[in-house]
Amino acid sequence: MDITELSDDSKRLLILIDHFSEPAHTRKEREIWIKKIPLAALINRGVRKGTFKDYDTAPTLVDYKGTTRFANISKEGEDDVVDMREMGLVERLKLATSHHIYVSAYRITPAGKDTVKDFEKKHHAAISNMLACRECGGEVDIEARDDAPYLICKECGTDEKVDIFDIDEVPYVSRPNFTEIWLPLD
């Protein structure tokens, strides 16, 4: 797969990763990485808002701050991250937590930054729109709090919980659908 084959959703995902990560340009500079769950939470928000057209989410067991929980994770989003790592646009780091569990963190590569610049304006606008503060329209940052990740507005400080752990809103887990072949014959 090469860059010309990137879907609209993967372009938007790379723009999203670019918003929340930064490679170091010199040895003294700090690199910024985004951890797996905050990234998954942002993808989840994008799915709910219609920013990602072909992504879906399904309840998946994850480790969040030392606790195993169900979270709504997009498998398509995860697959696109894998593809973009293979293309050299995204890098992954494995970190050991204080609970001795490995968590992945991601950041855009310099090649990824060059690629993002050439994406159509509508994709950049879609991500900016998805990340806009609900109060003032300002840009947000993401913070992993104990109960869930939150979007924090850099301008007015408004915070908004990202309901990645709110699995009751997934319609297809609410009622099992038994077809007639499972029913007793008598």
Q: Which is nearer to Zn ion, 152 or 170 (CB)?
A: 152
Q: How far is the CB of 140 from Zn ion (least distance, A)?
A: 8
- Rounded to whole angstroms, the Cα distance separating 112 from 108 reads 6
Q: Which is nearer to Zn ion, 97 or 128 (CB)?
A: 128
Q: How far is the CB of 162 from Zn ion (least distance, A)?
A: 16
Which positions ≥6 away from 168 have C-beta within 8 Å? Answer: 174
Interface ranges with Zn ion (CB under 5 A): 133, 135-136, 138, 153, 155-156, 158
Q: Which is nearer to Zn ion, 22 or 160 (CB)?
A: 160
Q: Which is nearer to Zn ion, 59 or 138 (CB)?
A: 138
Q: How far is the CB of 116 from Zn ion (least distance, A)?
A: 24
- Does residue 14 contact residue 116 with C-beta atoms inside 8 Å? yes
Q: Which is nearer to Zn ion, 23 or 138 (CB)?
A: 138
Q: How far is the CB of 149 from Zn ion (least distance, A)?
A: 17
Q: How far is the CB of 46 from Zn ion (least distance, A)?
A: 19
